[in-house]
């Protein structure tokens, strides 16, 4: 732990390296933070909530992957079951966010609180009531809720009985869920997103990502070809479901702003060789078709050609294509954590199937204790690329540093490394808005309160301004306390981004 901590402190002290801006953001800029229901609510089986795919995932670590079990097995540690018990602490937690001056708070609606199994005709009133109360609590402090409909928490019943989004029926179930939420919260929520990080699935042979994103559990013996075929089918159905939801949402309230949510990471060639450059382009095409379809309402040529060339035959009807065109998004929400570097030494552009095989270490960048590369300038590049490609308002709905925190004897937490990380990223974001004219709606850093990591299930991989007393083994009092970054971020918001010191 100590060795990790030392390397990591060196890694983040970049205050002198980057040129701080201190620009102010446009009026109405949505400063705040982001979380997801399954990572903080807990109360996994209370008030009629059903089991989601996140409820069958055990705790892992930086080196040990989470296990997806066949149902809940007694004696295993499922960190999402209790998480930080936001379900019973939300009033105090929202109050702390208000103290920082949040203008917006991004969370998701747990699908299984509203439709416990996913295929019911009628929603669960107790679940709907919880979010009524939560959104009221936000509005009490002038905090705008920003809501993701599906954030890695597909009902487990839909996973087991239907094969997740490989089944067209899932479109109807998702749309039913979306319609119920839009109607119920039409006067409480203006900003929506349909599927969290829908493009993660471009890593089609990552069993964990496919389970969380699309509710697909791969069977033993499936080849990469089978898995990729399943991904194209599921991705298509999700895009159709999203487009239908956008159409319905706009009918229910024309003032709704409904966006997509992608995991965006600018891709760089390791060298200037044409092969590396082409590989970077191919890599991006294979990821960006999700957002291209969301925004343009049609498939890019490169992906149509790839599907054809590989003999995949996804069920895509003419009617689907019309729906995609009619349900394009209002804005592009995205998470930014790191850039990606690729090398054709590892794989040639025309052989690219498994995207992970192309990835190389960027020798110019430092890494977090979980191996995530730290690249603040990459955020400015991301904002420029997305603006140039989509001509839509952009919304940073995740960014942040997962790190170990140390509680001092007096209870204080000196998380300078987190402040440095955020300061450098905010500074680059401000340059993009001020110097590059990027139309940016807001900045919602990830895990504004410590929560369960999606990737590892850990509590000790912390992102928060607010510390929660709980560790990876699930021990702790759940007491909340303010880290140094809490007071720093409060100043940033108060000065509308000018004071980054």
Residues that bind ligand BGP (CB under 6 A): 36, 39, 196-197, 263, 335, 398, 402, 446, 453-456, 461
Minimum Å distance from CB 419 to ligand BGP? Answer: 18
Minimum Å distance from CB 316 to ligand BGP? Answer: 27
Measured distance CA(467)–CA(439) in Å, rounded: 32
Measured distance CA(340)–CA(314) in Å, rounded: 28
Minimum Å distance from CB 426 to ligand BGP? Answer: 18
The reply to whether 308 belongs to the active site is: no
Q: Which is nearer to ligand BGP, 166 or 399 (CB)?
A: 399
The reply to whether 46 belongs to the active site is: no
Minimum Å distance from CB 418 to ligand BGP? Answer: 13
CA nearest neighbour of 184 among 242, 129, 255? 129
Residue 117 buriedness (CB in 10 A; 0-12 / 13-18 / 19+): middle
- Of the listed 153, 228, 398, 428, which one is catalytic? 398
Angle, helices 86-100/484-494, rounded to nearest 10 degrees: 50
CA angle 324, 399, 35 (to 5 degrees): 75
Measured distance CA(152)–CA(198) in Å, rounded: 10
CA 215 to chain centre: 16
CA nearest neighbour of 66 among 76, 75, 74? 76
Q: Which is nearer to ligand BGP, 180 or 451 (CB)?
A: 451
Residues belonging to the chain: 501
What are the beta bridge partners of residue 462? Answer: 403
Q: Which is nearer to ligand BGP, 68 or 248 (CB)?
A: 68
Minimum Å distance from CB 353 to ligand BGP? Answer: 22
Most distant CA pair in the chain, distance: 65
Q: Which is nearer to ligand BGP, 330 or 369 (CB)?
A: 369
Q: Which is nearer to ligand BGP, 108 or 285 (CB)?
A: 108
- Of the listed 197, 284, 428, 430, which one is catalytic? 197
| H helix runs in 258-300, sequence order | 274-296
The set of catalytic residues is 197, 398
């Amino acid at each position: 732990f100590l060795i990790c901590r030392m390397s990591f402190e060196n890694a983040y002290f970049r205050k002198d390296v980057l040129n701080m801006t201190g620009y102010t953001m446009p009026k109405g800029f949505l400063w705040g933070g982001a979380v997801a229901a399954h990572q903080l609510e807990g109360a996994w089986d209370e008030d009629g909530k059903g089991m989601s795919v996140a409820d069958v995932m055990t705790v892992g670590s930086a080196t040990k992957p989470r296990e997806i079990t066949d149902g809940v097995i007694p004696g295993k540690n499922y960190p999402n079951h209790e998480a930080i018990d936001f379900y019973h602490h939300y009033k105090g937690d929202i109050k702390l966010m208000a103290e920082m001056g949040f203008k917006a708070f991004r969370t998701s609606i747990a699908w299984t609180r509203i439709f416990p199994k996913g295929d019911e005709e009628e929603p669960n009133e107790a679940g709907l009531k919880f979010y009524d109360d939560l959104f009221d609590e936000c509005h009490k402090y002038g905090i705008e809720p920003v809501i993701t409909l599906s954030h890695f928490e597909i009902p487990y019943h839909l996973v087991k009985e239907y094969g997740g989004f490989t089944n067209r029926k899932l479109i109807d179930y998702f749309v039913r869920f979306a319609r119920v939420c839009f109607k119920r919260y039409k006067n409480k929520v203006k900003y929506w997103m349909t599927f969290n990080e829908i493009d993660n699935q471009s890593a089609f042979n990552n069993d964990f990502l496919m389970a969380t994103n699309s509710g697909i559990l791969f069977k033993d013996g499936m080849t990469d070809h089978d898995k990729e075929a399943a991904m194209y089918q599921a991705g298509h159905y999700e895009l159709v479901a999203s487009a239908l939801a956008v159409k319905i949402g706009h009918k229910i309230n024309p003032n709704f702003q409904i966006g997509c949510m992608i995991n965006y990471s600018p891709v760089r060639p390791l060298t200037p060789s044409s092969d590396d450059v082409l590989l970077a382009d191919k890599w991006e095409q294979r990821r960006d078709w999700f957002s291209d379809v969301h925004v343009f309402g049609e498939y890019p040529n490169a992906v149509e050609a790839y599907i054809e060339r590989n003999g995949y035959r996804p069920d895509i009807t003419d009617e689907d294509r019309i729906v995609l065109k009619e349900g394009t998004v209002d804005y592009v929400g995205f998470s930014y954590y790191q850039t990606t570097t690729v090398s054709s030494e590892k794989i040639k552009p025309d052989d690219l199937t498994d995207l992970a095989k192309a990835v190389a270490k960027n020798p110019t960048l430092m890494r977090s204790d979980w191996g995530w590369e730290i690249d603040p300038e990459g955020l400015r590049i991301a904002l420029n690329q997305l603006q140039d490609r989509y001509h839509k308002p952009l919304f940073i709905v995740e960014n942040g540093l997962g790190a170990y925190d140390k509680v001092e004897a007096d209870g204080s937490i000196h998380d300078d490394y987190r402040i440095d990380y955020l300061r450098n990223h905010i500074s680059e974001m401000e340059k993009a808005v001020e110097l590059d004219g990027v139309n940016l709606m807001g900045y919602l850093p990830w895990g504004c309160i410590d929560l369960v990591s999606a990737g590892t299930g850990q509590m000790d991989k912390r992102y928060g301004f607010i510390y929660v007393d709980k560790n990876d083994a699930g021990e702790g009092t759940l007491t909340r306390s303010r880290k140094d970054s809490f007071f720093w971020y409060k100043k940033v918001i108060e000065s509308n981004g000018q004071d980054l010191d």
